[in-house]
Amino acid sequence: MALHSMRKTRGCWSFIRALHKGPEAALPPQKDAVRRVFSGIQPTGIPHLGNYLGAIESWVSLQDEPGSVLYSIVDLHSITVPQDPAVLRQSVLDMTAALLACGISPEKSTLFQQSQVAEHTQLSWILTCMVRLPRLQHLHQWKAKTARQKHDGTVGLLTYPVLQAADILLYKSTHVPVGEDQVQHMELVQDLARGFNKKYGEFFPEPKSILTSMKKVKSLRDPSAKMSKSDPDRLATVRITDSPEEIVQKFRKAVTDFTSEVTYDPAARPGVSNLVAIHSAVSGLPVEEVVRQSAGVDTARYKLLVADAVIEKFAPIKSELEKLKLDKDHIEKVLQAGSAKAKELAYPVCQEVKKLVGLL
């Protein structure tokens, strides 16, 4: 859970109006019984195969379930590491375009830019004052990141799980789609909701995790590591914008083993099993059926079959993305409208929190 400041644009009257609405225009707090899904993604370049199968695909299907859905481009999370301002601005637009191309619909969900709704940081500070330092220091991701960065880890990197909690609780979200690596952070969210309710009275629902069915997609070059945008090996990661030739090359170079048979055994054969899992996910077939259909096919040929399946899956997305990138105004308007809708939901909740803790 799991994911940018944007220049001011013309014609954003609805966003400005939402920013300046006073208490008289505030909506009543969200009823806890209403199902509300929230998730976020950092704007760190074009999504890759792991992002799509691990999160975005399920986001698309969740739009058709009862209740409301909010998806946020969480640009404030991205600045826990150094960012080039111009690149960051463009990355917000690129990620928005990619989500739209993948099937996120502004008619079915609220797609917005986190930093344009100031209540996220306001609630984050209030929650930060409720959590003990050792709790954050014991989170696995903090330990892993600081181990890599030595003494360069920032306070933002330490406290971003609290901002993540604020992102979720601000909308009184009831469900959050997460990967396995975010389960510990969801426990923090639930603890903060319980702690706030115990101190100030029942207010926040305790959000439940929706675990994605697809396990982590592994690097094509190192099946012990997850697929990552930041992998220095360009052959390790398949992006949704890759050409068919690039996709074929990457799968052809995928690390497997010396056994030519196609089987699924993640512990003993992680490389081939990663290919089978990808094939299953993009084709919609169970793993067992994928293996059955691949009987008699050696791994060299199988790599090309998986590449073809990924190319077919990404073709319509890639085509739509190319069209969207030609219409920057449309992308900006989607973000402005989404941020205004999110603001209308966030403002009354944050105001009530301020009253409960004595700030109003």
Residue 41 phi, psi dihedral angles, 5° rounding: -140, 140
Q: Tell me the pLDDT tens digit for each residue of 140-195.
A: 777 777 666 666 778 998 999 999 999 999 999 999 998 777 788 899 999 999 99
150 given a catalytic annotation: no
Distant-in-sequence, close-in-space partners of 169: CB < 8 Å, separation ≥ 6: 123, 127, 189, 192, 193, 196, 204, 207
Q: Which of 215, 226, 325, 354 is catalytic?
A: 226
pLDDT at 148: 67
143 given a catalytic annotation: no
Q: Give Rg (Cα) of the chain.
A: 21
Q: Which of 21, 108, 216, 229 is catalytic?
A: 229
Q: Tell me the pLDDT tens digit for each residue of 257-272.
A: 999 999 999 999 999 9
pLDDT at 184: 83
Sort strands 208-211 and 110-113 into parallel, antiparallel or unpaired: unpaired
226 given a catalytic annotation: yes
Q: In whole angstroms, give the CA distance from residue 112 to residue 338.
A: 5
Q: Which of 145, 216, 318, 325 is catalytic?
A: 145
Q: Which domains does the chain have, with CATH numbers?
A: 36-216+328-357 (3.40.50.620), 244-325 (1.10.240.10)
pTM of the model as a whole: 0.85
Q: For residue 49, count other CB atoms closer than 10 A to its CB.
A: 23
Mean pLDDT for the stretch of residues 237-250: 97
pLDDT at 209: 92
Closest CA to 344 of 126, 35, 68: 68
Q: Is residue 237 predicted with pLDDT exceeding 60?
A: yes
